[in-house]
Amino acid sequence: MTERQVLPGDEIAVEEEYVASDGTYVRDGKIYASQIGTLILDDEESIAKVVPANPPNVLKEKDIVYLTIDDTRKTMATATAIATEGTCREIGSSTVATIHVSKISPEYTDNVADEFRKGDLVRGRVISVKPSLQITTKEPHLGVIRAQCGICKTELVKKGKDLHCPKCRRSQPRKLADDYGNVKI
């Protein structure tokens, strides 16, 4: 078996000797790499394929993701997905996410600003990726996992169902994850 790094368009084999497989294409009897990666010429199976060095981390339904809240509007929060649970690999698909007001909490809410604030770090679950990334935080383990006071930037602490700023001595409501203040990623 031969292995080497190849670029898209590199001629890697001829069809007489190998069957073109993943990451390749054929033109005029020659096999070319269609992606960057490691070329594998498998002589036993007579297969030529190119395996990406780092398979992209493409978000899919039911994935658990970590997001930062960018803005809260009347019917939804907009957020940026920054990581997927269980992998350090960078997200390779769109990270622009929305959380609709009906998908925030199992309890009724009609005010997104009572659940999330700009800058909150949130754990959510992917509902759909097309046509846009939609997130739910309805489960107990989903919701805000870290938040700062909007006035003094002190990290907020859990007090009852709400978050509390020990400096400003003010409480703010949130949809909290059940492990707020004790998160292990």
The footprint of Zn ion (CB under 5 A) covers: 149, 151-152, 154, 165, 167-168
Distance CA 26, CA 13 (A): 9
Least Å distance between CB 144 and Zn ion?
16
Which lies closer to Zn ion via its Cβ, residue 142 or residue 149? 149
Reading the block at residue 87, the tokens are 């992998």
Which lies closer to Zn ion via its Cβ, residue 152 or residue 183? 152
Residue facing Zn ion at closest CB distance: 149
Reading the block at residue 44, the tokens are 């036993």
Distance CA 88, CA 111 (A): 33
DSSP string, 91-105: B-S--EEEEEGGGT-
Which lies closer to Zn ion via its Cβ, residue 112 or residue 165? 165
Least Å distance between CB 180 and Zn ion?
17
Least Å distance between CB 147 and Zn ion?
11
The burial of 86, by beta-carbon neighbours within 10 Å (0-12 exposed, 13-18 middle, 19 or more buried), is given as: exposed
Which lies closer to Zn ion via its Cβ, residue 47 or residue 121? 121
Least Å distance between CB 125 and Zn ion?
30
